């Protein structure tokens, strides 16, 4: 045992201990990737801990700790070199600095703890040092550790991921202090104390760098691991006799076939089924949640119910004619809308078609307005619950409208100059496309589907005549805006990309994605705009905004 101890030493530590132990100094070595957490990851961390805290408040026996994972470090003479966990440690340090610098009513105890998590007062030494990339430490120290300036313009944040995360945390902290917020905390200090003392990580201290890297690889290699579905299967089989086991396995194989046909995995089907059963956010692993759900239940009856649910999901996934479902396929976090629609079909919900339309509008409005998972998650679970209770569609509509009203209206984002760079721009163009005809098969977003700039990206090339039609300031402003974008397929986009408008018109009249029909929104350009200038661009932008509000507003 003593020999193993010399190789590595795992120890469960609270956030407070992880950053305030006498030897808690961390260095990010140069081979690590630069800091990369985005809004989604930051919000997921925040809301997961917030939910655990609220669960613990409501029931002290629940979520007495929240496990954040592990960090693998190598013991050096004056610090720990981080092999795995650098992104989380950096994010936590940014959170400490935001709490320190925001004007919130921190208790003196929490304030002192947070300051000590950033910098050790005795040694006058920062807890976290980044050497991952040229100038990273200087940028981190200047913009975060030395004090955060919360008055930066949005464009100043684009090149500083540290500051972006700080601003995300600022908004999240401000949100929980608003009495009108669904996440309101009447005492933020209680939450901070929970975060510091009840959120834990396992710090695995290694005394050999090569072993640490090998351990990191083992911890992250899931190739031969049992999946949660395998564990659930074993759990359900354990109390069945041989005859019943054979019957169970036959049903399981049918579910595997359904999964293949529907483009799912058995595990994803179980995830959807869990969301259907609970209609709330799972607090534990999939296998633990389902073990609880299936405890004392007849395994044969349960697996048959799952098969029925899988069949409903297959029907939804294989529907290529329904434009609501086609458009929902482009949305992130498909588990929510799929669970809702599968639940509605499974429960024979009478207003299924109205529900589909509402979901399309809700998820797109949220997506366009910058919404992430946490904006839609709780509302989605509430919708599942209302469907299971057979509540009228008006209640679901009211629930959705209430959630959307808490945020900036999505139509404001349609006017952005850089709409082309939004992740939703191509699905939205397809949304307009689907509603130009009564029937259109699902159009997958592949490498062959392109966004065409009518005024081309390289409009000022000397052989082109666009300079006669657009002023420099107009071209720069509207190049990537809604009115200048349309759809083309494959080679057509390459041919049209940097051409004069007369050449583009010929190409726009050609065959489209299916090899037969051009996109309707592109034919619309050809039929309605004989010339292309700033006036026509603005005119088309208005038409497209009208189409979007007509089909995506509630």
Question: Could you tell me the mean pLDDT of each successive run of 10 residues in the chain, 554 residues long?
Answer: 60 90 79 82 92 88 85 84 88 95 92 90 72 70 91 82 95 92 91 95 82 64 58 82 87 94 94 94 83 89 96 96 97 94 97 98 96 90 97 98 94 94 96 92 90 93 92 95 92 68 84 60 93 97 98 96
Could you tell me which of 337, 532, 360 has the C-alpha nearest to residue 452?
532
Indicate the angle between helix axes 373-388 and 266-278, nearest 10 degrees. 70
CA–CA gap between residue 410 and residue 19 (Å, rounded): 41
- The closest alpha carbon to 15, from 203, 201, 204, belongs to 201
Beta strand pairing call for 128-130 and 26-28:
parallel
pLDDT value at position 468?
Answer: 92
In 32-112 the beta strands, taken as DSSP E runs, fall at 66-75, 80-84
Tell me the pTM.
0.70
- Structure tokens, 481: 């805006």
Q: ∠ CA(183), CA(186), CA(189), 5° rounding?
A: 100
DSSP label of 347: T
Asked if 119 and 125 count as a contact pair (C-beta separation under 8 A), the reply is yes
For residue 346 the two structure tokens come to 């499974």
CA dihedral 265, 217, 205, 128 (to 10 degrees): -80
Instruction: Identify whether the C-beta of residue 160 lies closer than 8 Å to the C-beta of residue 139.
Output: yes
pLDDT for 358 equals 98
Helix (H) or strand (E) holding 12: strand 8-14
Quick one: 55 exposed, middle or buried, by C-beta within 10 A (0-12, 13-18, 19+)? middle
Contacts of 456 (CB under 8 A, 6+ apart): 464, 466, 497, 498, 499
Q: Which residues of 474-487 are buried (b: 16+ CB within 10 A; e: fewer)?
A: ebeebbbbbbbbbb
């Amino acid at each position: 045992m003593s020999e193993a101890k010399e190789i590595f030493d795992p120890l469960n530590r609270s956030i407070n201990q992880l950053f305030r132990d006498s030897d808690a100094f961390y260095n990010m070595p140069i081979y690590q990737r630069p800091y990369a957490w985005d809004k989604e990851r930051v919000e997921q961390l925040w809301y997961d801990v917030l939910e655990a805290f609220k669960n613990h408040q409501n029931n002290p026996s629940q979520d007495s700790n929240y496990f954040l994972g592990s960090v693998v470090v190598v013991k050096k003479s004056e610090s720990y070199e981080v092999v795995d966990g650098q992104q989380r440690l950096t994010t936590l340090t940014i959170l400490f600095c935001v709490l320190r610098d925001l004007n919130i009513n921190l208790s003196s105890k929490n304030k002192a703890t947070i300051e000590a998590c950033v910098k050790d007062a005795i040694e006058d030494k920062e807890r976290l040092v980044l050497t991952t990339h040229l100038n990273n430490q200087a940028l981190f120290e200047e913009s975060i550790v030395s004090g955060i300036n919360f008055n930066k313009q949005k464009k100043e944040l684009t090149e500083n991921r540290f500051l972006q995360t700080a601003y995300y945390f600022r908004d999240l902290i401000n949100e929980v202090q608003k009495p009108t917020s669904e996440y309101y905390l009447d005492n933020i200090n209680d939450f901070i104390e929970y975060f510091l003392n009840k959120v834990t990580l396992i710090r695995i201290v290694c005394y050999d760098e090569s072993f640490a890297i090998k351990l990191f690889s083992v911890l992250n290699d899931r190739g031969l691991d049992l999946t949660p579905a395998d564990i659930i299967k074993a759990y359900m089989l354990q109390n069945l006799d041989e005859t019943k086991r054979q019957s169970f396995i036959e049903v399981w194989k049918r579910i595997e076939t359904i999964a293949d046909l529907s483009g799912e995995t058995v595990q994803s089907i179980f995830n959807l089924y869990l969301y259907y059963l609970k209609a709330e956010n799972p607090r534990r692993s999939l296998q633990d949640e389902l073990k609880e759900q299936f405890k004392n239940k007849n395994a044969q009856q349960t697996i048959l119910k799952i098969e029925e649910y899988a069949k409903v999901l297959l029907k939804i996934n294989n529907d290529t004619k329904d434009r609501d479902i086609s458009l929902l396929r482009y949305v992130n976090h498909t588990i929510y809308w799929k669970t809702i629609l599968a639940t509605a079909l499974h429960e024979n919900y009478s207003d299924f078609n109205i529900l589909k339309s509402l979901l399309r509008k809700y998820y797109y409005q949220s997506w366009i307005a910058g919404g992430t998972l946490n904006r839609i998650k709780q509302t989605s679970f509430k919708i599942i619950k209302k469907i299971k209770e057979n509540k009228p569609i008006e209640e679901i509509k009211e629930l959705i409208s209430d959630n959307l009203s808490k945020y900036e209206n999505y139509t404001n984002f349609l006017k952005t100059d850089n709409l082309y760079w939004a992740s939703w721009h191509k699905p939205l163009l397809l949304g307009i496309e689907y509603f130009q005809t009564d029937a259109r098969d699902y159009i997958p977003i592949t490498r062959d589907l392109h966004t065409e700039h009518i005024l081309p990206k390289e409009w000022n090339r000397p052989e082109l005549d666009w300079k006669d039609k657009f002023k420099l300031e107009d071209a720069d402003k509207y190049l990537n805006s809604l009115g200048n974008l349309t759809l083309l397929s494959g080679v057509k986009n390459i041919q049209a990309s940097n051409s004069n408008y007369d050449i583009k018109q010929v190409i726009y009249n050609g065959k489209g994605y299916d090899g037969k029909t051009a996109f309707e929104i592109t034919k619309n350009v050809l039929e309605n705009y004989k010339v292309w200038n700033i006036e026509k661009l603005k005119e088309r932008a208005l038409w497209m905004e009208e189409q979007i509000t007509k089909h995506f507003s509630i």
